[in-house]
Amino acid sequence: MLTLCLLFLAAGGLLTVGVAVYWHYVGNLLERDAVEQIVSAGNETAESFRRALEADQRIVDTIAITVQNNYPWRKTNQLERFLNLQVKYNEFDNLGIIPLSGDVLLARSVELDNTWLQHILTETLKEETYLSSRYTNPANGRSVLVVAASLHDGLKPVGVLFALVPTERYKSLLTLPSAGESGISYVISPSGELQAAGRTMTSTNMLELLSWADFSKEYPFSALREQVKNGEPIFMRYRLGGRSQLLYGVSLQVNGWYLLSILSTDFIQAQAQHLTGVSLMLFAFIVLLFGLLVLYMFRLRAYSNYQLFKTAFVDNLTGVDNLNRMIQLFPDRVRGVKESAALAIFDILKFKAINDMLGYERGNQILQRVALVLQANLTSGEHVCRSAADNFVLLLSFNDRKDLRARLNHLITLVRRDCTAAETFMMVNSVFGVYELAEPVPFYIALDRARLALENAKRSSAKEVQFYDEKDRHRILRERQLEGMMEQALADGSFALMLQPKIGFQSGRMEGAEVLVRWYQPDRGLVRPDDFIPLFEKNGFILKLDMFILSQSAKLLAKWYHEGKEQVPLSVNFSRLHLNDSRYIPQMSKLVDEHQVPHRLIEVELTETVILNNRELAQSVVRGLHNKGFSVAMDDFGSGYSSLNVLKSLQFDSIKLDKEFLSGSEQNETARKVVQGAVEMIKSIGATVVAEGVETADQAEFLRRIGCDVAQGYYFSRPLPVKEFEQLLLPRSTEK
């Protein structure tokens, strides 16, 4: 009996030690999880808050477009009703117009400080948009932010539209849901002034409140204040009011604001205490329930493993596996597929717009339906997981590519039919990128190749299913190389100008030149414009390159003047991206004026497709260029589908016939009549006709005979380096 008691006591002692060690381990694990949680949740909250501010700015910008389209504002009653409707629909506190001259117009009449209104007007006109610090609405005492956008009549500013957005609407974004009431976030200015918070605060300055806290010597309060001021990320521990807190901060990159996320460690202690209580209770009943305890521990362990499995391998939103599970299963599943195997990535087109217009809850419902559709259409041995956002990865078996394409197109149809949000007109359109597993490759390589195919599918309007092509990988690698070199190449002068002369049919003389750009790499030689111009259009670097070409062109014209040579007009091509930049024309004028070059010597070439994308904006830009004395040419006439409509609405100084428009006209009488008709029509509206790509004597003679004014092409001259081109220039004294 004594021996049995000793055995039970020994077992109980061992169990107690085990429970203590287990409790200590779980406590440490919970605390590490809490640290990871606050960092992850803080970053997600910062991103969500930035997106919310961007969404409010887009709403104000959209309203501003409607308001400025009705300028001048004569029917104020209708405008007030419109503003009131927008206030109600968007849950603003107020909405108003501050004109450059005249009275302020408000959706809801209230006395506002005129000095404050003038401040909003001034700040908004500086940057086109404005976001204020927290302000108290005199109408209801609520805390609001001011979101504003400038109003224009053409290019001329006429006022500002502003909205009072209650900070209460950001409250739900500034909580840490997974921590319950223990976690909260605050948006502060560099000085600590509270801008928005996840709960109502009595203090208006978080740094002053935290100055009372007990920080460690390693990370004192002064370090927090300094890093907030500098916008640097920070993680600290401190005690305030007897409670231990975790603090994570990150810059919002908006107005110099900073996000502080604070998580109390009380919930860690509560969980640890709970485990301790359970352990003590188990110890109290150890003698009577030892056998049951062992069984319970096994069950507890099994449940814990199940929870860990769900956390590690299951997507919480859709219930399908996550990418970690796919990585784990991939080698065995590929070996188990009897036919050929393929890795496919599914993506919903413009899913961000669905979230913005329908809300994240509706967007989540769509993702859940998509997961059900994809999972329901798998066969034995196949697998699906959600990798991120609206992307799903599928491991599929197939017999041939044609059957696989048909199957994926059928899946796209099912998603469009079954997953489109009810009571809306927004169709859920999707695409697939597919990599056929023809050889054993690691999962991430296969995934990257499927992603390349997905990018092609998203760019293509013709095919919703795209298969990986090895050429795509080489293209991406080449583009990354070029992007890594482009800034330094511009600084080093690796971009060189080439000038292709324009010859007048009547005079027989050179009457101008088109400026082209070439990129010379010391180790690779010439990079074709087709390889880098579309890339620069995509990444925005074309804006810098275009202005560099303009500056170099103006510099050449100034040089020719000082050397006593004739200054022939130079035509410079500009990207469509400039049309959306209000600084485009002022920046052009400044660059040309720096070299004291007359504006009439610079001709701006805009392609037909650029103009067609936004005709009203193009009309405004063409008018602005003419007002500054620049001439404007439409390039590639005849390459699009609406050239006649463009000619009707826009006034160009010259029209350049696309070389493809002329192709085949030598042998085709109908084509010759079309070209002749186009030339006569262009000349009838007073524009100069320029023919591009003239390569033969027959083409030149035909164009001269039908009245074309100017020709450009290899028949007359190839594009020339600057030094060779300058040899063609006459002394300035010979100009008539």
Residue 8 has pLDDT above 90, yes or no: no
Enter the tokens of residue 79: 């405008």
Rounded CA-CA distance 527/535 in Å is: 12
Residue 642 has pLDDT above 50, yes or no: no
Strand 525-527 with 258-264, pairing = unpaired
Q: Write down the pLDDT at residue 286.
A: 65
Residue with the larger pLDDT of the pair 515 and 9: 515
Size (the chain), residues: 736
Residue with the larger pLDDT of the pair 19 and 80: 80
Strand 94-99 with 391-398, pairing = unpaired
Enter the tokens of residue 127: 């940057």
The band of 20, judged by pLDDT with boundaries at 50, 70 and 90, is low
Q: Write down the pLDDT at residue 424.
A: 59
Strongest mean pLDDT among 123-137, 203-217, 413-427, 483-497: 123-137
Structure pTM? 0.47
Residue 633 has pLDDT above 60, yes or no: yes
Q: Write down the pLDDT at residue 50.
A: 92
Choose among 374, 375, 355, 357: nearest CA to 365.
Answer: 355
Residue with the larger pLDDT of the pair 277 and 711: 711
Q: Write down the pLDDT at residue 279.
A: 62
Q: Write down the pLDDT at residue 301.
A: 77
Strongest mean pLDDT among 169-178, 657-666, 697-706: 697-706
Q: Write down the pLDDT at residue 268.
A: 64
Mean pLDDT of 631-659: 76
- pLDDT tens per residue, range 316-341: 888 888 888 888 888 877 776 657 88
Q: Assess contact for 665 and 677: CB atoms under 8 A.
A: no
Q: Write down the pLDDT at residue 668.
A: 75
Angle between helices 615-627 and 584-594 (to 10 degrees): 30
Find all residues with CB under 8 Å of 571, minimum gap 6, and list them. Answer: 502, 512, 513, 514, 515, 603, 604, 605, 633
Choose among 499, 493, 529: nearest CA to 512.
Answer: 499
Mean pLDDT of 397-401: 88
List of domains in the chain: 2-25+273-310 (no CATH), 41-272 (3.30.450.20), 321-468 (3.30.70.270), 546-729 (3.20.20.450)
Return mean pLDDT, the chain: 84
Sheet architecture: strand order including 465-467: 321-322, 383-388, 391-398, 340-348, 430-436, 465-467
Rounded CA-CA distance 409/406 in Å is: 5
Q: Assess contact for 657 and 678: CB atoms under 8 A.
A: yes
Residue 558 has pLDDT above 90, yes or no: yes
Residue with the larger pLDDT of the pair 24 and 615: 615
Q: Write down the pLDDT at residue 416.
A: 86
Residue 342 has pLDDT above 80, yes or no: yes
The band of 131, judged by pLDDT with boundaries at 50, 70 and 90, is very high
Which residue reads 């709970």 in tokens? Answer: 274
Listed in order, strand segments (DSSP E) in 75-155 are 94-99, 105-106, 129-131, 135-136, 143-153
The band of 665, judged by pLDDT with boundaries at 50, 70 and 90, is low
- From the number of C-beta atoms within 10 Å of its C-beta (0-12, 13-18, 19+), residue 125 rates as middle
Find all residues with CB under 8 Å of 359, minimum gap 6, and list them. Answer: none
Q: Write down the pLDDT at residue 406.
A: 92
Which residue reads 């040419």 in tokens? Answer: 633
